[in-house]
Amino acid sequence: MVIEEESPRSPEAKLGMELEELWDIQEAQLTPTEKLNACFESIPVSEFPHASPSQVIEIKSDASLGEAVRLLSQNKILSAPVVNVDAPEDASWIDRYLGMVEFAGIVVWILHQSEKNDGSDVFSSTLDNSLRPAVVAAAGGMSSPRYRSSQPGSPKTAGNFFELLTSSDFYKNTKVKDISGSFRWAPFLALQTSNSFLTMLLLLSKYRMKSVPVVDPDDGKIHNIITQSAVIHMLEECADLQWFKSWGSKKLCELGLPLMNTSEVIKVDEDEPVLQAFRLMRQKGIGGLPVVNGNKPVANISIRDIQFLLIAPEIYKDYRSITAKNFVTSVKRYLEENKKASPLVSGMITCRKDDTLKEVILKLDSKEIHRIYVVDEEGDLEGVITLRDIISRIVHEPRGYFGDFFDGVLPLPANSRV
């Protein structure tokens, strides 16, 4: 009787089995990291499971900011590549795409306009003076000398500002291409289908990309977008395979995680203005931070949460000033009332230093988040672990690995702000 091998339960698991086969034939004298580097280098990104069609959308450069926000919201994604409508039909992929546009980038760019021309801006005819501190605070990161001298103390925000903003002609008529090169935009950096998994992992970790488009050089179009969440899910599906066990079975402390000690973790007190949280994320170049009561993390705020200033402005109606704690509470209520899922509703996701890497990955994947906070027995904050930290413990960048990969792409434009 012939017993057929059980088929992998998912495309990610099938990929894991391919890695397993490569792992078994690596030279014995290689270290586990060297072996895994070689395995990931042997697999092209064309084999990574494809994202759902709703995640591989493109936004035309002549779309309005309002249209871009609607597209991102409808497809439940945070960013999308922008197609240059002025590019010729036979343009290469480098000339076809202008960059990536994000929810957060749209919000921050619009608010920044309010600080131009010494406070005279496109909203001056519709905004009451009581709203000015919120605009200037968000636009200047609450750090401009003019704002600090004229508005001492904590910044305030008022309820109807974002409603006015989203209904304004400026918001409706400004084109996506008009904000190219600003804030969270970056030059369009994509992988070609022949590039390796190792290249993709390094871009997501060491080079801090949130997602990596994959283009087919033959037709010059995007065929897949690999996100941090997709990589976490792949690791979860491979958690019981031999190549992963040498890391997954180890405790976080044995792997040198978390990388930062408590004093280095960027955080915001629950009674501070929520704008302070977004300012810190912008200044420090991070995607999220914990809201703390003393040294106990009580919530998480992500850069993605700035989207609620656009898609759910009604949550601000009862507040002239909103703290980080009230922001989280208000967004959670809004999501529950509208039956929408979000990592915010799940509350704080924490772990201990003696948890294993496998346990952490299972938590991250089940909640579809990218960071987890490390606490001690009393619940006090000890550190934070992100997907980038995890990848940095699994693979490394060989000397001279990228060569001229970034030529013509980096550095960022001179007017890039985030």
Q: What CATH number has the domain bearing residue 251?
A: 3.10.580.10
Distance between CA atoms of 164 and 159, rounded to whole angstroms? 10
138 in Cβ contact with 278 (< 8 Å): yes
**pLDDT given for residue 202 in this prediction:** 94
Range of the domain at 312: 237-394
Quick check: is 346 in a domain?
A: yes
Distance between CA atoms of 18 and 346, rounded to whole angstroms? 34
**pLDDT given for residue 413 in this prediction:** 37
Quick check: is 362 in a domain?
A: yes
Q: In the structure encoding, which two tokens stand for residue 193, read together?
A: 């289908």
Quick check: is 315 in a domain?
A: yes
Quick check: is 262 in a domain?
A: yes
**pLDDT given for residue 315 in this prediction:** 56
Residue spans of alpha helices (H) in 5-160:
11-24, 32-41, 65-74, 93-96, 103-112, 132-139, 145-150
Domains of the chain: total: 1
Of 197, 179, 36, the C-alpha closest to 98 is: 179
pLDDT tens digits in sequence order for the chain, 418 residues long? 344 445 567 899 999 999 999 999 988 888 888 999 999 999 999 999 999 887 888 999 999 988 888 888 788 787 889 999 999 988 888 888 888 887 777 776 665 654 453 344 333 333 334 333 333 333 333 223 332 333 333 333 334 455 666 677 777 788 988 876 543 345 578 899 999 999 999 999 988 888 899 999 888 889 999 998 899 999 999 999 989 988 899 999 999 999 988 889 999 999 998 888 888 887 787 889 999 999 999 999 988 787 776 666 655 554 446 789 988 888 888 888 877 766 665 567 999 999 999 999 999 999 888 899 999 999 999 999 999 999 999 999 998 898 877 765 544 434 333 3
Which of the 8 DSSP states describes residue 369?
-
What torsion do the CA atoms of 57, 63, 69, 73 make, to the nearest 10 degrees? -30
Q: In the structure encoding, which two tokens stand for residue 359, read together?
A: 């346990």
CA distances to 41, 256, 258, 388 from 361, in Å: 22, 16, 14, 12
Quick check: is 101 in a domain?
A: no
**pLDDT given for residue 118 in this prediction:** 39
Count other C-beta atoms under 10 Å from residue 20's C-beta.
15
Phi-psi region of 154 (alpha: psi -120 to 50; beta: other; left: phi over 0): beta
Of 294, 293, 364, 291, the C-alpha closest to 328 is: 291
**pLDDT given for residue 316 in this prediction:** 57
Distance between CA atoms of 325 and 292, rounded to whole angstroms? 9
Of 287, 282, 290, the C-alpha closest to 266 is: 290
The dihedral through the CA atoms of 192, 193, 198, 204 has a sign that is positive
Distance between CA atoms of 46 and 53, rounded to whole angstroms? 16
**pLDDT given for residue 409 in this prediction:** 53
Count other C-beta atoms under 10 Å from residue 2's C-beta.
3
Bridging pattern class, strands 350-351 and 59-60: unpaired
Quick check: is 202 in a domain?
A: no
**pLDDT given for residue 405 in this prediction:** 77
Buried b (16+ CB within 10 A) or exposed e, 254-286: ebebbeeeeeebbbbebebbbbbbbbbbbeeeb
Quick check: is 269 in a domain?
A: yes
Of 291, 295, 287, 286, the C-alpha closest to 274 is: 291
Q: In the structure encoding, which two tokens stand for residue 361, read together?
A: 């990955």
**pLDDT given for residue 341 in this prediction:** 66
Quick check: is 312 in a domain?
A: yes
